[in-house]
Structure 1
Amino acid sequence: MRKSRKSTKNLNTFGYRETSHALYLNSSFSYKALSVDLGLRGELTYTKGISYTYQQTHTNHYFRCFPSIDMRYVINDNNVINVNYSGRIKRPDYHLLDPFRWYSSKYDYSEGNPFLKPSNIHLASLTYMYKDLLFTRIYSSNTTNDFGKMVILDADHIQNQIERADNYLDIYQFGINSELNLQIGTAIESKLSNDITYTNYSSKASQFKSIKGWGVNFTLDNTIAINKKLSASIYMEDNLPGYYNYRKFRNSFLLNIGLHYTNKKKDMTIRLQAEDILKSSTPKYSYYSNGINQIFDNYNDERQINLTVIKKLGNFFNKTKGRFETSNAEEKERL
């Protein structure tokens, strides 16, 4: 890193450059009902952060290898089992790297960290599929050096808040998600899905404690055919109280309803959609910082009614010639 005396003539300017080189190796084979795909990806990354104001430069070089394996076993025409493992990398965005302060009030400011490291993620899953009706996946993931911005309170002046980027957490997660597709007669199509997770957040910062707990999500998406031209949709999503993204959330519930009309010629469609009609999609959440419990109760009003009208005006603009002709094609035919 190069350092020199602080310059007061320049504005707070931060430049960032990132170059990645990747090499992929893939192999696949099959034996009877079993098929296997193997992969290996190597990445060499070079980053350079430049503070033009302070005339400081920070460079970073790192090499990572990410293996992957995917095994698919077809039991019969209706039942399939899949086993998957992969390694991944997650890199910080520019706004997380910019070290200069951004003030939201005289008490609060946000700052990035040019020394952030990328996160390494390992994913493993076991999946079972029955026709197009049922999908079930058991999975686990392990993330090291996860990064983000956390609000840190000044223990002496708790009205002062600092939002600072860092590699805060190691995260282990285990869960199961499934999806069930139902057709009830000819009038109702229903899709029910759920995601149940247990997460262990291991803190690497003294201001935050390690926590662990469950998170549960359910969704129900229904389409009801009223007649050949008109149908209704009902979408519900419920997040039970639990731990999500290091935060302890209260219950949230989203309800959307809609109507869909298509005329007999099928050249006009009208959609009417109402979203978050119960005003309950954004829950309170909390976490501890410096031993102080922070409770956030900010509701961003997502309620809205959308009317969409689509009318087809024929295919005049979609007409294509049988072959491409140059602008002087007719002139050439006269020669």
Structure 2
Amino acid sequence: MMKKLLLLLILSGQILAQNKSIIGSVKDTQNESVIGATVKLMNSIDSSFVKGGITDINGNFFIQNLSSGNYFLEITSMGFLKYRSVKRILDEQQTKVELPVIILLPAKSTTLNEVVVSAKKPLIEQEIDKTIVNVGTMISAASSNTLEVLEKTPGISVDAQGNINLYGKSGAMVLIDGRSTYMSGTDLVAYLKSLPGGLLDKLELMDNPPAKYDAAGSSIINIILKKNKARGLTGNLSSGLSMGQKLRVNNSVNFNLNRQKINWFLGIDQSLDQDYTDETSQRTIFNEDKISIANIQSKNYSDYKSNSLSGRFGADFTLSEKTILGVQFFLQNRPRSDDANYVNTTANQEFKGNNYGKIDWNSKSANVNFNHKFNSKGHELSGDLNILNYQSGGLRNFNRVSENELFDNKLSSNINIYNFKTDYSLPLGKGANLESGIKVSFVKNDNDALFRDESAAIIYNRSNHFIYHENINAGYINFRKSINKKLSLQMGLRAENTNILGELLANESIQYQRFNQNFTNLFPSVFLSYNLDSLKNHNLSFNFTRRVNRPNYQHFNPFLNYVDAYNYTQGNPALQPFYLNLVRFKYQYKSIYTLGFGYDKADGILGEITVREGETFIRKPFNMGIGNRIFINHNLTLQATKWLSSILYFQVARFDIKSNINGETNHTVFFTTRVSTNQQISFGKGWTSELSAQYKTEERIYPTTVLARASVYFSMQKKVLKDKGAIKLNINDIFHSDIYQERIENFQNIYQNRVNINDTQRIGLAFTYRFGNEKYARKRRNRDNSASEETERVQ
């Protein structure tokens, strides 16, 4: 017993002898905390390294578990002179040293200027699991809106219905700073048009997202907004205008105040968006003997104007060294007015009409988020709570001139969305990590369309009130493991339970209709990565994921909506989700070259088709069938010379689709090619230019063929005000060749040609400027997509 007690005392003495620590904080000459400074504890006898660390968000450091001895500190940080302390002694009497505040002196400005120049980012950066587009280096962004920036990005395209495609796949989910916009179709397009391009920092393009993300969407486009990451008061502003047949204006200003344990941020954006649509179509109707029995020519011209004002406000609170709590608020008002005229001509008569509408659209959202780090090895817990509300309402007046009929449509829409998400990450050691999380969301979409005649009497057979409820419960688990220095593995499984209820309320002409769907799905994912060399310059990767595209909320509404004398729209309560199984192989050399091969298998493809009932045409969504796609992707980012950088992207794909629409079956096989290139030339003295072009061949998904499209853009930039400001000139769609054309052949005995022309040929001018202290980086992580997939489907 005595020996055990003696041994315990010896061990206790050894533990106490090593339980010594040094505590301190680092600031600059302005009394601002220096974040991320490197702190090294050195042995005074031989100047050998003992232990180290970095300063936290408050500039503090803590070095513990030290033995007795003589030490000194070395502290370094970019933009500052190296600091070296006097000798410090740790012994039995001095077990804990609390140092006075350490002040770092700034380095010479010439050194800082050299660092800024050498840190210039390329337009495209390739990472193993995503592609990063640095919008800040895209000269044309400042005089463009966000939708135009997306359309100029290699691999992204937008169709006539507002569906955003990534790498040839429709149904991409769009996130803003990791948070969903909860919109889709025309509403999402209008929202992206209201965001100035000068507000964007970068785009993250994820072809196959892991299990952590919502399973909805064929892929993810994460739009990262500019953030002022420096200590003190900083900010940036951007102002641009462009002119085609209509004027557009985009302005934004952002402020960031980072003081002590609170970081405040504020952004205000204003945009004026104007556009026109000149649409012509020719429809020929045949009988069963393929003899023409009717020809209908339609000419529709419409223009609109939208003046948007939005604001973002929030703060990050550092509750402790390990815990951060954040709050964010978003507000936007987007009133819109539009005016449309149509002429429908047949062999016997002509129908004319017009309509005018004014709609006020508002959105409010709040986000509360937290992050707690249990240790510095990646053990952490995070969460997000989101509350969102979208409201729109207004009046549209219709004048059917040929029929001498006047009526109006009073619109009201109210969408409430609530969701909560939490993620937990646990390091398992030996290069392994386990992630898990849950998400719960609730959506209620209340849409009321009331038609009245010129005496203000309700037209019940045209009016409808549709209410949509949705609840999705999801959970995931994801395992990552670095097997050795070259091989890494990631496997994930996500489960989603979906509950849908739709109600078309009764009136004097319409019977009550109700439908509901309940289903649970599993979405596995596998990712393998292998480095061919020790420097990790050459990499091979394999990826498999299962995804789902859910219909937009309003696509379930079964009511027939009036457009003009011949055209209507209608939802489809029988719609089912559209499932995708995606396989990818990729070779990557640094961020310079990527060659990818892929295979997609689709079941329940979603699409909108115009069907005929007599001489009336109804556009409605369908599950169109099954299909697969095989493709090759190629991306080359080359710095040819010091003054020339080039990007070349192309994709060649083969589609094989078997469709069944309204009882008509078809088997379609076709090839498509997408090509885009970007050339940036530096002339010195702050002058740079950019020339980019895009082209895609025709695409056919029975019964619609979309014809080939092309566009060319040119930009010029001059940096001013000591490189903190820039003046930019931009010319969009130089040859006005970005025109949407489609044809429908042999569907319900119809042949149709349709051409859409918009105000895409434009010239723009912009000014950007950044201000404030730029020495210190703000250590705040981006919010994850806590409010993800629901946003994509608001109409």
TM range (shorter): 0.7 to 0.9
1:306 aligned onto 2:764: yes
Tell me the residue number matched to 2:153. Answer: none
- 1:175 aligns with one of 631, 639, 652: 631
| Other-structure match for 1:258 | 715
TM superposition shift of 1:11: 4.4
Q: How far apart, in 1, do the equivalents of 2:594 and 2:701 lie?
A: 23
TM-superposition CA deviations, 1:21-80 (whole Å, max 9, x none) = 112122222322111111111111100001112332211100101111000011112110
Deviation at 1:194, TM superposition (A): 0.2
Partner amino acid, structure 2, of 1:16: Y
- Asked if residue 153 in structure 1 is aligned to residue 612 in structure 2, the reply is yes
TM-superposed CA distance for 1:244, in Å, is 6.4
Q: 2:594 aligns with which of 124, 135, 141?
A: 135
Contact 2:638 2:647 in 1 (8 A): yes
Native 8 Å contact 1:153 1:161 kept in 2: yes
1:290 has 2:744 as partner: no
Aligned to 2:413: none
Q: Which amino acid counterpart does residue 467 of structure 2 have in structure 1?
A: G
Which residue is 1:233 aligned to?
690
Q: Which residue of 1 aligns with 2:396?
A: none
Cα distance in 1, alignment partners of residues 750 and 666 from structure 2 = 11
Q: Are 1:229 and 1:261, in contact at CA under 8 Å, matched by a contact in 2?
A: yes
Distance across 1 between alignment mates of 2:673 and 2:736: 20
One-letter amino acid of the structure 2 residue matched with residue 171 of structure 1 = G
Percent identity over paired residues: 22
- Tell me, yes or no, if structure 1 residue 277 matches structure 2 residue 734: yes
In the alignment, the residues of structure 2 paired with residue 141 and residue 60 of structure 1 have an alpha-carbon distance, to the nearest angstrom, of: 26
Q: Distance in 2 between matches of 1:250 and 1:269?
A: 38
Name the structure 1 match of 2:481: 29
Shift of 1:305: 1.4
- Are 2:472 and 1:20 equivalent residues in the alignment? yes
Name the CA distance, whole Å, in 2 between partners of 1:100 and 1:294. 25
Q: Which amino acid aligns with 1:310?
A: T
Runs of 4+ in 1 over 6 A off after TM superposition: none
Deviations 1:74-101 (A, max 9, x none): 1112110000000011100012111111
CA distance in 2, matches of 1:233, 1:10: 51
168-177 or 62-71, which deviates more: 168-177
Q: Distance in 1 between matches of 2:571 and 2:724?
A: 51
Q: Is the 8 A contact 2:475 2:495 kept in 1?
A: yes
Shift in Å, 1:301: 2.8
Partner of 2:520: 63
Greater Cα offset, 205-214 or 34-43: 205-214
Counterpart residue number, 1:196: 652
Amino acid paired to 1:282: I
Partner secondary structure for residue 464 of structure 2 = coil
Structure with greater proportional helix content: 2
8 A contact 2:462–2:562 mirrored in 1? no
Cα separation, 2, equivalents of 1:285 and 1:148: 14
Determine which structure has more spread, i.e. the larger CA radius of gyration: 2
* TM score, norm. by length of structure 2: 0.37
Deviation at 1:256, TM superposition (A): 0.4
Q: Secondary structure at the match of 1:226?
A: strand
Shift of residue 257, structure 1, vs aligned partner: 0.3
User: Per the alignment, in what secondary structure is the counterpart of residue 137 of structure 1?
Assistant: strand
Which structure carries more relative contact order (alpha carbon 8 Å, separation 6+)? Answer: 2
Q: CA deviation at 1:170?
A: 1.4
Q: Which amino acid aligns with 2:636?
A: L
Aligned residues: 307
Shift of 1:176: 0.8
Question: 1:25-174 alignment to 2 at 5 Å?
Answer: 25-32=477-484, 33-53=486-506, 54-76=511-533, 77-154=536-613, 157=615, 160-174=616-630
| Deviation per residue, 1:302-335 (Å, 9 max, x gap) | 11112111234x439x99xxxxxxxxxxxxxxxx
Q: What SS does the aligned partner of 1:95 have?
A: helix
Q: Give deviations 1:211-242, integer Å, cap 9, x for gaps.
A: 12001011001111122311110010011244
Amino acid at match of 2:626: D
Superposed displacement of residue 264, structure 1: 5.5
Alpha carbons 1:123, 1:142 under 8 Å: kept: yes
Q: Secondary structure at the match of 1:84?
A: strand
* AA partner of residue 194 (structure 1): F
The aligned residue for residue 217 of structure 1 is 674
Q: Is the 8 A contact 1:201 1:246 kept in 2?
A: no
SS of match in other structure, 2:758 = coil
Deviations 1:275-317 (A, max 9, x none): 01101112432233214332222222311112111234x439x
Match of 2:591, SS state, is coil
Residues 9, 191 of structure 1: alpha-carbon distance in 2 compared, 3 angstrom cutoff: closer
Aligned mates of 1:118, 1:203 — CA distance in 2: 16
Q: Does structure 2 retain, via aligned residues, the 8 Å contact 1:96–1:148?
A: no
Mapped partners of 1:237, 1:251: distance in 2? 11
For 2:600, the aligned partner's letter is S
Residues 1:133 and 1:21: Cα distance change in structure 2 (over 3 Å): same
Which string of whole-angstrom CA distances, capped at 9 and with x for unpartnered residues, describes residues 110-150 of structure 1?
A: 10012211111100000100112101110011111112220
2:298 equivalent in structure 1? none
Aligned partner letter, 2:646 = S
Matching residue's letter, 1:200:
D
Q: What is the Cα deviation at residue 189 of structure 1?
A: 0.6
Deviation of 1:247 after TM superposition, in Å, equals 3.6
Q: Aligned AA for 2:707? A: R
Distance 2:731 2:555 in 1: 35
CA displacement at 1:248 relative to structure 2: 2.5
Q: Distance in 2 between matches of 1:307 and 1:169?
A: 46
Deviates more, 1:261-270 or 1:226-235: 261-270
Q: Distance in 2 between matches of 1:102 and 1:9?
A: 10
Task: Read off the aligned partner of 2:505 and give its amino acid letter.
Answer: Y
Q: CA deviation at 1:10?
A: 11
The runs of 5 or more residues in structure 2 that have no matched partner are: 1-459, 777-795
Please give the alpha-carbon distance, in whole angstroms, between the structure 2 residues aligned to 1:21 and 1:90.
Answer: 16
Report the residue type matching 1:196 in the other structure: V
Give the letter aligned to residue 555 of structure 2: L
> Which is worse superposed, 94-103 or 67-76?
94-103
Deviation at 1:184, TM superposition (A): 1.6
Q: Provide the rounded CA distance (Å) in 2 between the counterparts of 1:274 and 1:308.
A: 12
| Range moving further from structure 2, 12-21 or 296-305 | 296-305
| Residues 162-198 of structure 1: CA deviation (Å, up to 9, x unaligned) | 1122211212111011100111211111000001111
Change (3 A) 1:110 1:272: same
Q: Which amino acid aligns with 1:263?
A: V
CA–CA separation in structure 2 for the residues paired with 1:11 and 1:253: 41
Alpha-carbon distance in 1 for matches of 2:619, 2:712 = 33
Q: RMSD over aligned Cα, in angstroms? A: 2.2
- Counterpart-to-counterpart distance in 2, 1:247 and 1:36: 41
